[in-house]
A and B are shown apart, each in its own frame.
Chain A
Amino acid sequence: MKEILAIVRLNRMNQTKRALAEAGLPSVTAKDCLGRGKGLVDLQLLKGAERGYEEAISQLGQSQRLIPKRLLILVVRDDLVEKAVHTLIRVNQTGKPGDGMIFVMPCLEAYRVRTEEYGDIVLDEG
């Protein structure tokens, strides 16, 4: 059993949810978050740089602004990790910086609170 943490664009959430449901992995937890990557993008600076202001261009790459993203948390069976990751990449990939990251981490146990079942049976079928 693995935990997948995916950080994606806000405006891709609907497509992501639909694609995951079609892939048989409808269960997901989502959370608003802010973040930055190695790209260091500041939208105002970018706009200024596009218009050719010298000051904005000189400050590119120094901003520390955090950008709103959506954090998705999925717990899936070991054999479905590849399917989930490929679905997420296919839907969210635009090729530009800011598409986000996916992290795969081990998860030891999963329980269903309603029935006290545990193990792979509480997870999505795929």
Chain B
Amino acid sequence: MIMIRSIVRPEKVDDVLAALMEAGFPGVTKISVVGRGKQRGIKIGEITYDEIPKEMLLTVVKDSDKDFVVRTIMKAARTGDKGAFGDGKIFIVPVLESYTISSGVRQNADGGIEEVKP
């Protein structure tokens, strides 16, 4: 199991969410973040803006779905045909266990399912 942390433009979030829903991955968490990238922010005249608002999306998927989901997000988050600076980044993080609180079901990295009784 892996977590896909994608940082995308705020105006593209709805497109990405719709694309993920259509692709069959409804579970998403969205967090507002600010940041800068390789271009060191945006310079307009004398002023540099280096805290550019973005949205971070967290999605947890099976290892085998990784490439498909990453490609779906990239396709939806890109601006224009070739993309532009500021379209964002995607990071992949391993997840060892995931728990669904309502049912108390644990899913291990290898796909094993087990019920937890606290």
Contact = CB atoms under 8 A, between A and B. Distances in A.
A66 B20 CA distance: 13
Given A92-B101, A93-B101, A35 B28 contact: yes
Interface residues of A, number: 38
A89 interface: yes
A5 B95 CA distance: 10
Interface string B84-111: 0000000001111111111110000000
Contacts, number: 93
B26 A36 contact: yes
A97 interface: yes
A34 interface: yes
A104 B116 CA distance: 15
A33 B30 contact: yes
B94 A38 contact: no
Interface residues of B, number: 26
A35 B95 contact: no
Interface string B59-76: 010000000000000000
A16 B118 CA distance: 14
B30 A34 contact: yes
Given A86-B118, A89-B116, A2 B102 contact: no
Interface of A: 2, 5, 7-8, 31-38, 40, 64, 66, 69, 71, 85-90, 92-106
